[in-house]
Amino acid sequence: MKLYNLKNNSEKVNFETAVKLGLGQQQGLFFPVDLPIIPPSELSKILKMDFITRSTEILSKFISNEISKEVLHKHVKKAFSFAKPLKVDINKKISCFELFHGPTLAFKDFGARFMAQMILAFSKENESFTILTATSGDTGAAVAHAFYGMKNIRVIILYPKGKISTLQEQLFCTLGKNIKTISINGSFDDCQKLVKKAFDDKKLKELIGLNSANSINISRLLAQICYYFEAFSLLSEEQRKKLVIAVPCGNFGNLTAGLLAKSLGLPIKSFIACTNANDTVPRFLNNGKWDPQKTVSTISNAMDISRPNNWTRIKELFRRKKWNLKKLRFGSVSDDITKESIKELFQLNYVSEPHAAIAYRLLYDQLKKDEFGLFLGTAHPSKFKNTVEKILKKEISLPPELKKWNSLPLLSYNINPDFNKLKEFLLEK
């Protein structure tokens, strides 16, 4: 697969390089030169396959020239070696597609674990990497667990201090070994800026073999395409005809993957880009002005991002496919309405959490008469135990995966959002 840098189209790399670099020159994101298409006859065959075989087929559309199908199959099997996503019906017209049955209970496990497999597939003996990534909550855990204990790989995770849930923090700041965590006195956008700055520092980048596991890494997006096909395969013929998918958006990686699935030929009628009060994209789609405001903290903290990285990829995909951005549905939901929506879902016998609840709200409000809707369940409710318990006045039990980490001491360092401080850390620790 060839990819070009969205900031400097003359920089072209193959998939291996894109995975290893993460970002291109001038912090540009990589985007595929060719957008493969699965013809309808092949699509119906693919939809009947099991999750691993189908995912291998889909991924090989992009990368079979660099990794053979047989080898890819092995890696996909390892990456997705946890419980499959689950469709849970809320009512006749709406289902939740739960993506949180992986080891760290959020959809980020798909991307992070596939990326770890790709790094493994491409790394030469004695080649060492520093994975530097910023997290608004769930990426940290997924990446930390995906790379934990891997030889020649050091993982450094930045997160905004006090702005992620206790359980989120517990899940990745207690691991130790090759996983280092730094809490930053600032917002997620501050963390993301620091990561981008590090990538701009050519000397540093070479010195420590810098890589990023953010959703800016193309391997993560490719992995996420696969579960949209799984969702589709679980629907009836009738439901498939008028499918609308509501995606809770932060950095817009998940939505990018969904749109890539559509570009491959999966006939999804419409997407809803769902945000919380950090509504840069909804405002842009409303009035055409890109005007990020200061990030505000909400109860759906993994979506507290006002400068979403992947938006440039979405714009490029619409341009390349000659799709109309006006057809992308969108909306933003306040904390108060989010809470009400969690209660509403509970009345329908479903325990949810703030991120999915935002997607449910907008799906419910925007779904037309003859349409069928899926909203993505991006994290297990127990990851937001305190918030959900306060809203529902009901105890949420912890799955065993979380209990284990609960009592361990946090090993994080703490710094101000100061690039020189980060650089010192990268060179010393």
Ligand X SMILES: *Cc1c(COP(=O)(O)O)cnc(C)c1O
Residue 48 CB burial class (10 angstroms; 0-12, 13-18, ≥19): exposed
Q: What is the rounded distance in angstroms from the CA atom of residue 296 to the CA atom of residue 345?
A: 25
Decide if residue 379 touches ligand X (CB under 6 A): yes
Whether the Cβ atoms of residue 254 and residue 222 lie closer than 8 Å to each other: no
Residue ranges in 228-247 that form contacts with ligand X under rule CB under 6 A:
none
Whether the Cβ atoms of residue 286 and residue 250 lie closer than 8 Å to each other: no
Q: Running DSSP on this structure, what letter comes out for residue 383? A: G
Least distance in angstroms from the C-beta of 288 to ligand X: 21
Least distance in angstroms from the C-beta of 142 to ligand X: 8
Residue of 340, 344, 342 lying closest to 384 (CA atoms): 342
Query: Among residues 204 and 268, whose Cβ is nearest to ligand X?
Result: 268
Decide if residue 252 touches ligand X (CB under 6 A): yes
- Stretch 42-81: interaction string toward ligand X, x if CB under 6 A: ----------------------------------------
- The pair of structure tokens assigned to 55 is 């995912």
Cα–Cα distances (Å) from 21 to 173, 205, 218, in that order, read 25, 9, 10
Among the residue ranges 30-38, 53-61, 154-162, 248-256, the one whose residues contact ligand X (CB under 6 A): 248-256
- Stretch 329-368: interaction string toward ligand X, x if CB under 6 A: --------------------------x-------------
Least distance in angstroms from the C-beta of 236 to ligand X: 27
DSSP, residue by residue, 217-237: SHHHHHHHHHHHHHHHHTS-H
Decide if residue 249 touches ligand X (CB under 6 A): yes
| Selected binder of ligand X within 85, 248, 282, 331 (CB under 6 A) | 248
Q: At what angle do helices 51-63 and 218-233 cross, to 10 degrees?
A: 140
Least distance in angstroms from the C-beta of 95 to ligand X: 17
Least distance in angstroms from the C-beta of 422 to ligand X: 22
Residue of 139, 136, 137 lying closest to 155 (CA atoms): 139
- Stretch 126-145: interaction string toward ligand X, x if CB under 6 A: -----------xx-------
Decide if residue 280 touches ligand X (CB under 6 A): no
Residue entry with tokens 């499959």: 84
Least distance in angstroms from the C-beta of 214 to ligand X: 9
Q: How many residues bind ligand X (CB under 6 A)?
A: 17
- Stretch 181-220: interaction string toward ligand X, x if CB under 6 A: ----------------------------------x-----
The secondary element (H helix, E strand) that includes residue 139 is helix 138-147
Whether the Cβ atoms of residue 128 and residue 151 lie closer than 8 Å to each other: no
| Selected binder of ligand X within 3, 244, 302, 342 (CB under 6 A) | 302
Q: At what angle do helices 51-63 and 69-79 cross, to 10 degrees?
A: 130
| Selected binder of ligand X within 3, 58, 96, 106 (CB under 6 A) | 106
Q: CB-side exposure of 176: number of CA atoms within 13 Å?
A: 5
Kindly list the residues in this chain that would bind ligand X in the complex (CB under 6 A).
106, 108, 137-138, 215, 248-254, 302-303, 355, 378-379
